[in-house]
Every structure is written in C-alpha cells, then in structure tokens.
Structure 1
C-alpha cells in the first residue's frame, strides 16, 4: 500500500465552473454534464459548485496519438 504525504500530493485548486470553462475553452454546460456522468468530481461549498483544475486537466485532456 502506497501512502502519500502532503508534499507529494498536488494541492487542489478549486475554481468556479465559469472559470474552469474559460480556462479549458468549454462551456459550463459541458462541465455540468461531466459532473453528472461522473467523469469529474464537483465540490459543493454552500450553494456554490467548485471543481479542481488539476483533476479536470487529468480527466479531460487526452493525448491524440500521432501517425508515424
């Protein structure tokens, strides 16, 4: 079993849906759909929904293999 210390884990950077949508060039509706289907996790803080930019980058950005 691998245990991570605080220094090894990347810090969460929770941002609003609109900030994340602008950052990645997608719509807020797309992010809401991804939260609903379980692709990404949303975090509720009071009435606000926040998402982690690091997690979003890991889950949404997919490398396209190049032809050689």
Structure 2
C-alpha cells in the first residue's frame, strides 16, 4: 500500500498520447480535453503525459443505442 493509503494498480499500460490517439482515431487534443475534464486519467512522468490505454478505450468507446435494439 502506498503512503497515501491507496493501493497502486499494477496492471496499468501507460502509452503516449499520440499512440492512444492513433489507436482510437482521435486527436491528441481530444485526449488532452478529456484529461482536463476528468473523463480519463492522465499520468505525468517528468514532462511526458501518458494515459492508460485500457482506461481510455473503456471510457471513450460508447455503444450507440439504436431503435432496432429496443424492439
């Protein structure tokens, strides 16, 4: 357990913003906006910003409901 009482995750896959953006076909600016609004977590390592690829995929990919699915 970390000194602040939070158990650190060990399954985290940190990647650069440009790699995550390319994977999801969005801009790095979009990812920076989502970090700023708290939708996704950004991690600073020195001057570099990284994101957890699994978290970004989970939070940004949303299934669109259709009228056919409601029948």
> Gaps (5+ residues) in structure 1?
1-8
- Bigger Rg, which one: 2
> Gaps (5+ residues) in structure 2?
1-8
- Partner residue, 2:46: 46
Q: Which has the higher contact order (CA 8 A, sep 6+)?
A: 1
Displaced runs of 4+ in structure 1, greater than 6 A? none
- Pairs aligned (count): 60
TM-score of the pair, normalised by structure 1: 0.81
TM-score of the pair, normalised by structure 2: 0.78
Map residues 29-68 of structure 1 onto 2, 5 A cutoff: 29-68=29-68
1:14 maps onto 2:14 in alignment: yes
Residues in 1 aligned to 2:28 and 2:60: alpha-carbon distance in whole angstroms? 14
RMSD between superposed Cα atoms in Å: 1.5
